[in-house]
Structure 1
Amino acid sequence: MRKVLFNAKVYVERGKFAEAVLVENDKIVAVGSNDEIKNNLDDKQKIEVIDCKGKTLIPGLNDSHLHFMQFGETRNQAMIDGVISIDEMIDICKEFASSHPNYVKEGLHAIGWNQDNFTENNRLPDKNDLDKISTDFPIVLERVCGHIVSANSKLLEMLDIENNKNLFKDGDFLVGEDGKPNGIFTGNGCNIAKRLIPDFSLEERRKILIETMEYAVAHGLTSVQSNDVGTTFMDGPAAFKLFHDIYDKGEGLIRYRHQVCFNNVEDFKEYLENGEYVHGVYSKDSWLTLGPLKLFKDGSLGARTALMTDGYVGRPDDHGLEWTSVEDMDRYCKLAKEKGLQVVTHVIGDEAVKRTIDSYEKAFVDGENKLRHALIHCQITSSELIDRIAKLNILVFAQPIFLDYDMKIADNLVGSKLASTSYAFGSLARKGAHVAYGTDCPVEDCNPFPNIYMAVTRKDKNGNPSEGYYPNECVDVETAIDAYTLESAYGEFMEDVKGRIKPGFLADMVLLDKDIFTVEHDDIKNILPVLTMVGGKVVYKK
């Protein structure tokens, strides 16, 4: 089946636009003017014609790192993102528990609070706060970053930390003035606490995944590179089976690439020898692919657990959290090298960035980053680190949307000198580094347009500061779109067939309601698709 999209403003590459695109099956076969494409047509073949009515057509947007399943879960939980007080969060959870008794009878889990947004008393919520929701069932409420969770007394009772201290490392849980656990967990303690809340059933997860795909394509995403297995979805075999089943039945609306976490090096080694990396079947034309090993090096800036070389302002001895030790990181990377596997690592603080680059460099192939190891987030950087990233050709999976919040805290936490060279999307791009954009959803919504707006303007969602936050790090619209398309494709070794509207490339495209190239930059965040196409199939139409 052939399709023609004509009367469009087709973004081909920087400085080059066309009018029409000819699609055959799942590939683009011709791009040019309306007349040129018309002359390519065979009157004897059935052709579907789509009049774009002068609107702008860009390549399908590809989120380089998010947690797709977790985003779907948050849309089926108490909505505590954006709360401005602990009391408001308590009220929302009490209302949710009252109206969804079957959901919470075995436990309540939600994500989204941020103590820095509390208008009064910016403390972390503890067991005494969550006990006001209920003491009858366990409760875990995650900070928006996922690196701190709060729990109620019922969950602490079930954990019985005093008799299970072997499960925890130093700092995995906090204690109150009485010397007893206060319900606040950090690091790996977050996962231990969350595991006591019963999981969604597989049928619920299937429904959640498909609903989330519908939301994603309605916002212009045609691909996601998602870390669900080993984080949101702890049962790896069940997770892989569910995804295979959805895509084998043709129910997937979006291209999905796994980024996979493991509890320890031994589990990773077992999976390389006997698990999905050996036995998983992914056909060449599949919309479902098996991607890199995903690691965590540190925590988050907002939680003050990002790993910092010189500590935090006023707290020079507080260097944050090292989630994965140098020794384990080196072992992970060595195993990955032996199997030819990419590694992508969550890094926030400058010391986390440095140590991760060190581990990557030890595992380079022929002295080069041929496996395309990547730094996810890569927020706090010195000029020296930026130069090193570019020189070593290490990929960066960045989230410009994080600036909406982080610009309000970064200078106070790491100092203005270091903040001025951080979130360095402009410098990295100018130095030739591969920078791909994503949202880390559900830390932020997966809608790509506020993310592009933030990269271009470096303003928060309210338009502040008017000149932008360290505006020398702004990028132009073309750079931002390329980071969300071609660079994200590079991150998954698909830049030869994905991320451009050119002959031979996959027919993944998005038609926009406003011209992203000419609209006022402050209005970019309000853009929405009127049509989304994946592999030549229209998966969303407004």
Structure 2
Amino acid sequence: MRILSLLLLCSLFSCKTATEKIPAELIVTNANIYTVDAQFRTANAFAVGEGGVILGVGSDYEITAEYESENVYNAQGKTIVPGLIDAHAHLLNLGVGMQEVDLVGTKSAEDVIARVKAFQAQNQSEFISGRGWDQNDWEVKEFPTKEQLDAAFPDTPVALRRIDGHALWVNSKALAMAGVTASTKLPGGEVILKNGAPSGILVDAPMRLVDAVRPAKDVAYYVKALTDAESNCLSYGLTTVNDAGLDRAAIELIDSLQQAGTLKLRLYAMVSNAPENLDHFLNKGILKTDRLNVRSVKVYGDGALGSRGAALRAPYSDQDGHYGAMITTEEDLLALAKRINAAGYQMNTHAIGDSANIAVLRAYSEVLKDQTDARWKVEHAQVISVADFDYFSKNIIPSVQPTHATSDMYWAEDRVGPDRIKGAYSFKTLLDKAGLVALGTDFPVEQVNPMLTFYAAVARQDLEGYPEGGFLPEQKLSREEALKGMTIWAAYSNFEEEEKGSIEVGKLADFTVLSADIMTIAESDIPNVTAVRTYINGELVYEQK
């Protein structure tokens, strides 16, 4: 009688039989999955449901016994990790750079000019722009001059941004258009002089004068820049990018492209610190869609070490009497911190030199003294006095870029000397103090490839294996720490750890399929690992050909 009653109930309410399976939008099997959950467990399979949410994670048998789908991806043993997050980059700048002269890897001023000539021969630009030169890579490690550009381009304005984005090499035509003279002085930067006249190198603040006279670009230009940049990122397995500084117009364009399905990439957009941006977003409040998160402000504390714009407590070891410069003063940092905090936003501040870092850390500590979950970030946290590491915590998070260490290691000690270098690029110390580190690239300053981030974090060597044992090897991260820094810790720093950063039930199905197991292969092989597939929301958005 009881059995008949149960059968009647099942017929009325459509009870599942033991053979029925739960429908899924996607099932992934036969994989080597690093879930990056709290126990850092591995798995072989998972199922994705409607809305791109993970339904189940386990063995092949467990998942295929419980779920069914017309869309099954057999990974054939390949390694899968949570969708990779770049915690500090410049997506729009990357795309814009892809429309301009690429100067990365140039070996001399003459090499730069040759590339500009080749570009101009094809494009006939009315205002020539480019990016990527680095005098530290040249045999003559000195800033170039306007005269070198004038000889090739006497009548066409030329403005070439240094790789770090903190110095501009311009010709006389561009200087004249911008009204820059020997008497031009702006706080937070420098017009470098030679024989009493502008040399053609502008550091930080005065660069804005040249930017203001560049011809305006139309919306189509920026749409192409963004879509080109996205394609690049997806091909490397990135699923979320933190763009460290965007104006309102750029954020609104990105939002419209995401809503239309033109852009698939998720973006954590930091609002550029400008009055018109802050007046809009801080009053509007946090903006969160399924692919865009706007809840932070990007502030510049100082400049860059490579162009000697980073603010140091004592003079540069390779330039007597020169301290660099604060772009935002200590007083302004504190006022900004109070305003940003009052609006419920996160403050993310670029700090390279030890003077800038302590100014930022003091402002953060003062404003956050009664808070425990603000998650404000120090972007770069590059040169820090040893006594100041104790400021870091899960409330004041270090956001660092491992490839900066391996790019700068050839000359960094020349800039800061043997004592200060002990507190530079100290990723392991920062991790120990804060409990986490968010890892990024700062592209296009560095390459987009997140495998280079992973390699630099764990090996601290260049692609030729230099130096033996690694640069400041005590600051290496383990492979588990590096992967967390590119996934769950980066997600945490964005207030997104409940929705991404690991492969777990209830989270979004953002994941990256790799060509090899980065957790076990030889360190020297890590840079050769590629993204085979990239998924966002369970949707295949990139496949290696």
Q: TM-score, normalised by structure 1?
A: 0.92
Superimposed CA distance per residue, residues 8-49 of structure 1 (whole angstroms, 9 cap, x where no aligned partner): 01102355211101111311111101011112115xxx4310
- Counterpart in the other structure of 1:112: 132
Structure 1 residue 326 corresponds to structure 2 residue 335: no
Structure 1 residue 127 corresponds to structure 2 residue 130: no
- Counterpart in the other structure of 2:58: 32
- Counterpart in the other structure of 2:209: 192
| Cα contact 2:287–2:295 (8 A) shared by 1 | no
Structure 1 residue 22 corresponds to structure 2 residue 33: no
Identify which range, 194-203 or 4-13, moves more after superposition.
Answer: 194-203
| Cα contact 2:189–2:309 (8 A) shared by 1 | no
In 1, Cα distance between equivalents of 2:387 and 2:245: 33
5 Å-filtered alignment, 1:454-533, equals 454-533=456-535
Identify which range, 143-152 or 221-230, moves more after superposition.
Answer: 221-230
Structure 1 residue 239 corresponds to structure 2 residue 250: yes
Q: 1:161 to 1:191 in 2, by over 3 A?
A: closer
Partner of 2:160, secondary structure, is strand
| Cα contact 2:397–2:434 (8 A) shared by 1 | no
In 2, Cα distance between equivalents of 1:412 and 1:496: 43
In 1, Cα distance between equivalents of 2:406 and 2:332: 33
Structure 1 residue 172 corresponds to structure 2 residue 174: no
In 2, Cα distance between equivalents of 1:170 and 1:470: 31
In 1, Cα distance between equivalents of 2:317 and 2:440: 29
> Of the candidates 266, 272, 288, which is equivalent to residue 261 of structure 1?
272
| Cα contact 2:181–2:198 (8 A) shared by 1 | no
Partner of 2:423, secondary structure, is coil
| Cα contact 1:214–1:253 (8 A) shared by 2 | no
Q: Which amino acid aligns with 1:250?
A: G
Identify which range, 524-533 or 154-163, moves more after superposition.
Answer: 154-163
5 Å-filtered alignment, 1:6-405, equals 6-13=29-36, 15-25=40-50, 26-42=52-68, 46-101=69-124, 104-105=125-126, 107-119=127-139, 121-161=140-180, 165=184, 168-169=186-187, 171-177=189-195, 179-230=196-247, 236=248, 238-263=249-274, 266-267=275-276, 269-272=278-281, 277-278=284-285, 282-283=288-289, 286-313=290-317, 315=319, 317-364=321-368, 366=370, 368-390=371-393, 393-405=395-407
- Counterpart in the other structure of 2:542: 540
| Cα contact 1:59–1:501 (8 A) shared by 2 | yes
Superimposed CA distance per residue, residues 65-92 of structure 1 (whole angstroms, 9 cap, x where no aligned partner): 1111111121221111111100110111
Partner of 1:519, secondary structure, is coil
Cα offset for 1:164? 9.1
Superimposed CA distance per residue, residues 143-163 of structure 1 (whole angstroms, 9 cap, x where no aligned partner): 111111111111112122359
Cα offset for 1:393? 3.6
Cα offset for 1:227? 2.6
Cα offset for 1:281? 5.6
5 Å-filtered alignment, 1:419-438, equals 419-438=421-440
Superimposed CA distance per residue, residues 192-225 of structure 1 (whole angstroms, 9 cap, x where no aligned partner): 2122222432102112211211111110100001
| Cα contact 2:177–2:210 (8 A) shared by 1 | no
Cα offset for 1:403? 1.8
Q: Which amino acid aligns with 1:33?
A: S
| Cα contact 2:182–2:193 (8 A) shared by 1 | no
Percent identity, aligned pairs only, is 29
Partner of 1:132, secondary structure, is helix
Partner of 1:540, secondary structure, is strand
Identify which range, 314-323 or 182-191, moves more after superposition.
Answer: 314-323
| Cα contact 1:394–1:434 (8 A) shared by 2 | no
| Cα contact 2:406–2:471 (8 A) shared by 1 | no
Identify which range, 418-427 or 463-472, moves more after superposition.
Answer: 418-427
In 2, Cα distance between equivalents of 1:204 and 1:112: 20
Superimposed CA distance per residue, residues 403-451 of structure 1 (whole angstroms, 9 cap, x where no aligned partner): 2221111222212232133211112223343210111100011110011
Q: 1:331 to 1:16 in 2, by over 3 A?
A: same
Q: TM-score, normalised by structure 2?
A: 0.91
Q: 1:15 to 1:271 in 2, by over 3 A?
A: closer
Rg bigger for which structure? 2
Partner of 1:504, secondary structure, is coil
| Cα contact 1:269–1:335 (8 A) shared by 2 | no
| Cα contact 1:93–1:133 (8 A) shared by 2 | no
Q: Which amino acid aligns with 2:166?
A: H
Structure 1: segments with no counterpart, 5+ residues: 231-235
Cα offset for 1:191? 2.0
Partner of 2:220, secondary structure, is helix
In 2, Cα distance between equivalents of 1:161 and 1:314: 27
In 2, Cα distance between equivalents of 1:369 and 1:36: 40
In 2, Cα distance between equivalents of 1:418 and 1:152: 36
In 2, Cα distance between equivalents of 1:540 and 1:430: 36
Q: 1:34 to 1:207 in 2, by over 3 A?
A: same
Q: Which amino acid aligns with 1:380?
A: V
- Counterpart in the other structure of 1:233: none
Partner of 2:350, secondary structure, is strand
| Cα contact 1:379–1:422 (8 A) shared by 2 | yes
Structure 2: segments with no counterpart, 5+ residues: 1-23
Partner of 1:431, secondary structure, is helix
Q: 1:224 to 1:15 in 2, by over 3 A?
A: closer
In 2, Cα distance between equivalents of 1:131 and 1:486: 50
In 1, Cα distance between equivalents of 2:347 and 2:282: 17
In 1, Cα distance between equivalents of 2:480 and 2:292: 28
Q: 1:485 to 1:305 in 2, by over 3 A?
A: same
Q: Which amino acid aligns with 1:343?
A: M
In 2, Cα distance between equivalents of 1:314 and 1:125: 18
| Cα contact 2:271–2:277 (8 A) shared by 1 | no
